[in-house]
Amino acid sequence: MITKAYIQEYGNGKTEPEFLEVKTVLESRGIDCEFFTIKRLQRNQIQINQETLIVGDHSTMLSVFRKMGIR
Tens-binned pLDDT, residue by residue, of the chain (71 aa): 999 999 999 989 899 999 999 999 999 999 999 999 999 999 999 989 889 999 999 999 999 999 888 88
Starting from the edge strand earliest in sequence, which strands make up the sheet with 52-55, in order? 32-36, 4-8, 52-55
Strand ranges (E), the chain: 4-8, 32-36, 52-55
Determine the pLDDT at residue 71.
84
Residue 7: the pLDDT is: 98
Domain enclosing residue 31, as ranges: 4-68
pLDDT score for 41: 95
Q: What is the pLDDT of residue 5?
A: 98
DSSP letter at 14 equals: B
Q: How many domains does the chain have?
A: 1
